[in-house]
A and B are shown apart, each in its own frame.
Chain A
Amino acid sequence: MADGYTDTFVEVAETNLRLLRGGQGEPLLILHGAGGNRGWLRYAQSLSRRFQVYIPDHPGFGKSDQPEWIASVPDLACFYLWALEDLGLSRVRVMGLSMGGWLAAEMAVLCPQLFERLVLVGAAGVKPTQGEITDIFLLSPAELTAKMFHDPKQAPEYEQLYGAQPTPEEQDLRTRNNEMAARITWKPYMHDPRLPSLLRRLRMPTLIVWGREDAIVPVNCAEIYHQNIRGSQLVIMEQCGHVPPIEKPQQFVNIVSEFL
């Protein structure tokens, strides 16, 4: 158990799933975005002081198997409900980042009784009424990275994550992530037209966190989530881009910890 977490495979929902797991306490499931699982970063380490944190590679991403039947984000949501059952988890706190936020919202509306709290961070999933969700598949990796941050210099792990040229193995994983992301989010791009209506079913405590300068998913989407999820809290982080947990981990952890 290096650095307080394990990196193992679990057989859930008839799928071999890679899972990072660490910490003690109530379960906190963290769902990664279209770029894949960035690993056990500072924010996860901090949150693991209070929670048992689970960060899986989604099916078809990273090192997890790819079941043939998963072709959409709602499919992925069905997968995770099954997986949580197999892991014996209930009353879960779930936090989704970007595409993972969309996924978390789909899971919550499918089975609200399973979730204690919901955190949506720069979440895709709803169509903005102003602006567009950036088409990440049209961008080169360098262009995409540049768009994700407001100011990379304030991201303490930036060098570690983006500083070096990817190894062939990393490149291969990146290709795989990109393919799976395209498979499940291509059309309608990065949103589910049903979702705003379904969100109105939710009663669970929900926190919506967004970077004011998010250049991937417009802040307008944060407002749409906020309007449709009754009693939700909205926190906009100033001077911050699409990935608050990486760009401003300390501030992000403070905001989220208070809510969780």
Chain B
Amino acid sequence: MDVYYFTEMPYAEFPESEAEKFPSMRLTFPNTYFDPRLASELFRRYLDEYQYAEEVGFDGLMINEHHNTPSCMDVEVNITGGILARITKRANILILGNLLPTTDNPVRLAEEIAMVDVISGGRLISGVVRGIGVESWATNTNPVYNRERFEECHDLLIKTWTTPGPFRWEGKHFHFRVVNPWMVPIQKPHPPIWVPGTGSPETVEWAARRRYTYAAFLTPLEVAEDLFKLYHKHAEEVGYTPGPEHFAFMICCHVNDTDDKAQEEGRHFLWRMGHPLRGPQAYFAPPGYVSRIAALMTSRRRPKPLNQLSYQELQEANHLIVGSPETVIKKLRHIKERLGIGALLLEAQAGQMSHQTTMRSIELLGREVIPALKEL
């Protein structure tokens, strides 16, 4: 099992009480709270942490993208992907992922991703995502077409990487006279594709039919099991039996020298579990963004939203693993064995967790936890 380091690169440099003055910390929280000079320091620190994660033994580095939110400063994963490609040497670079439906130029996107793959010498994993509902607002992309645009953008990316140019594309949402980018990926036929999900059955089926790795994000273990079973079913339908490499699981994690210290510092994750998930329903579910079936399944699967769970409940539900190396090893082993995953994605920095604390957690994860997880 490969272990990945991940941070959303938050900007938590304002009092939480400020965020509470607004309907949400996403979309409409005023950007006057943003200080670019502070952000510059934060980027330096987050990138240092990624570098260190590789150094101490993480197999991969994961990055993601959001818009109009202090919970995630990464607004262009291909920029950070390009930086990581240059400042690291060995680790996989997992972009999870590029927002396909909100892009208007899939060919440009194909070029950017290919460039990251080329700069990294073929270490890129190219995740693709539909984006949360807020991204439809932030980019003003019609949410009704979210899934259609996701699928067409994906098809065009793959064709751009695998079909010798020039060719022409006349689709429903995208139209190109001459597709013939000079920049194509090192990895053949193309970099691996991963897809995250929290419950949409359509996404599981879509990934399974294409043999893409499906990453369950912050779901209860039993839900991840259900989703993986569904993946198996669709895989069998198209004639293959999936292995661990087809499954990944993302959770939050903090390790410290003792359980007590870890419990104290792990509270920084409450910022991440709280504010970014609060807001009017319309922000998260614009018209047509969620299919009626998916909405039903999601409500069945996670009876209580993450931002209504206590610190204790978050840990009991395995959304957040906190403790000394010994405690964390035990819990992560349980998850690994129960889910049969090929990759564990650890979000190991959040909110105002300091650089020093984050570095210690990364160090303990790399030097003690990861080696123990690789035994057996």
Contact = CB atoms under 8 A, between A and B. Distances in A.
Contacts of A183: 142, 144-145, 288
Contact of A175 (B137, B143, B292): B292
Interface in B284-301: 286-288, 292
Interface in A174-224: 175, 178-179, 181-183, 186-187
Nearest to B282: A138
B144 A182 contact: yes
Nearest to B140: A187
B280 interface: yes
Nearest to A182: B287
B280 to A, nearest CB: 6
Contacts of B280: 138, 140
A139 B137 CA distance: 13
B288 A179 contact: yes
Contact of A182 (B142, B281, B292): B142
Nearest to A186: B142
Given A172-B292, A186-B144, A187-B142, A181 B281 contact: no
A179 B285 CA distance: 11
B287 A178 contact: yes
Nearest to B143: A182
A259 interface: no
Contacts of A162: none
Contacts of B288: 178-179, 182-183
A82 interface: no
A137 B142 contact: no
Contacts of A182: 142-144, 286-288
Contacts of B137: 138
A178 B137 CA distance: 15
A243 B288 CA distance: 25
Interface residues of B, number: 14
A66 to B, nearest CB: 11
A179 B287 contact: yes
B260 to A, nearest CB: 43
Contacts of B286: 137, 182
Interface in A128-182: 137-140, 172, 175, 178-179, 181-182
A139 B144 contact: no
Nearest to B23: A138
Interface string B132-147: 0000010010111100
A181 B287 contact: yes
Nearest to B283: A138
A179 B142 contact: no
Interface string B118-140: 00000000000000000001001
Contacts of A138: 137, 280, 282-283
Interface in B164-213: none
B231 to A, nearest CB: 28
Contact of B287 (A137, A172, A187): A137
Nearest to A181: B287
B282 A137 contact: yes
A134 to B, nearest CB: 13
A140 B287 contact: no
A175 B286 CA distance: 10
Interface string B142-171: 111100000000000000000000000000
B136 to A, nearest CB: 9
Contacts of A172: 292
Interface string B2-42: 00000000000000000000000000000000000000000
Given A182-B144, A186-B142, A140 B281 contact: yes
Contacts of A140: 280-282
A178 B145 CA distance: 14
A119 B142 CA distance: 30
A241 B140 CA distance: 28
A172 B287 CA distance: 12
A243 to B, nearest CB: 20
A137 B145 CA distance: 15
A186 B143 CA distance: 9
A226 B326 CA distance: 75
Interface in B263-294: 280-283, 286-288, 292
Contacts of A175: 287, 292
A63 B280 CA distance: 28
Q: Which 8 A-B pairs have the closest CB atoms?
A: A182-B287, A179-B288, A186-B142, A183-B144, A178-B287, A179-B287, A138-B282, A182-B144
20 contacts: A137-B282, A137-B286, A137-B287, A138-B280, A138-B283, A140-B280, A140-B282, A172-B292, A178-B287, A182-B143, A182-B144, A182-B286, A182-B287, A182-B288, A183-B144, A183-B288, A186-B142, A186-B144, A187-B140, A187-B142
Given A138-B137, A179-B144, A186-B140, 11 more contacts: A137-B282, A137-B287, A138-B282, A140-B280, A172-B292, A178-B287, A178-B288, A179-B288, A182-B143, A182-B286, A183-B145
Interface of A: 137-140, 172, 175, 178-179, 181-183, 186-187
